[in-house]
Amino acid sequence: MEYQNILVNIEGSTATITINRPNKLNALNKDTIKDLHGAFKKLEKNKKVRVIIITGSGEKAFVAGADIAEFSGFSKKEGKKLAAKGQEMLFDFVENLSKPVIAAVNGFALGGGLELAMACHFRVASENAKMGLPEVSLGVIPGYGGTQRLPRLVGKGRAMEMIMTAGMIDAQRALDYGLVNHVVPQEGLMGLCTQLADRISNNSPVAIGYAIKAINDCFNNNVNGYATEIEAFGECFGTADFKEGTSAFLEKRKADFPGK
């Protein structure tokens, strides 16, 4: 499938999605969100792909925000629709994907860019990365899940400060806050993400999918996460991956998970 604003590359069991709008600092617009939704949906169905890395083109930005010109004249109704549709198509969709998504944050991750990175299952940043939610400086609040995911990752007080000051934090502070898992020189960013993807790919994709759901349910007030874990734990016992994993352990060999 051809995409207008993104590039998709698959090597082995890892797919890399690159948001490719360098002259706009990879800002998100409707077409880019649509492209990303299509790519993630297709990759989730691809049995060969076990991990997805998402990054931005160039060395300046992961995603430097939403395309403000696209919605600056919106009404209240249009604004609500924009947030609801965006969350459904991309941000919630990524968070609940059964395959791990790693955000390789190469430069600015602002507004919708940081919201996209936070929707991923974890984040790795380059040393030059800068992150923030500057929406209140435009007279609006984060609309793609930023007010919900940021407090879960960094705590309420830090999230309040970041959102209300509309400021940016650097990669080291993001690491201190727990917003990112690792910080590396820019030239080593994709290498580390690939290493992590390879390590993940050695494990059961079925079990990982169940783990993602159980962990997400920990933060869902309408669901008992412990009950999700119990149910998923039991379901694992009926999978080919469980049979292969336990057999490999007992036979002292490396498991070759079929992924079902």
pLDDT of residue 1: 65
What residue type is 9 in one-letter code? N
* 78 labelled catalytic: no
The helix/strand count (H/E) of the chain reads as 11, 10
240 token code pair = 């080919």
Among 115, 187, 231, 244, which one carries the catalytic annotation? 115
* 135 labelled catalytic: yes
As a three-state string, the secondary structure of 72-109 is CCCCHHHHHHHHHHHHHHHHHHHHCCCCCEEEEECCEE
Among 135, 161, 187, 231, which one carries the catalytic annotation? 135
Average pLDDT, consecutive stretches of 10 residues, N- to C-terminus, the chain (260 residues): 92 98 94 97 97 96 90 92 96 98 98 98 98 97 97 98 98 98 98 98 98 96 96 97 97 95
Angstrom distances, CA of residue 26 to CA of 4, 50, 127, 236 = 12, 25, 19, 39
pLDDT of residue 222: 93
pLDDT of residue 189: 98
What's the CATH code, domain 6-201? 3.90.226.10
Cα 20 from chain centre: 17
Instruction: Report the SS3 class of residue 251.
Output: coil
Within 8 A by CB and 6+ apart from 183, the residues are 124, 125, 126, 127, 129, 171, 172, 174, 175
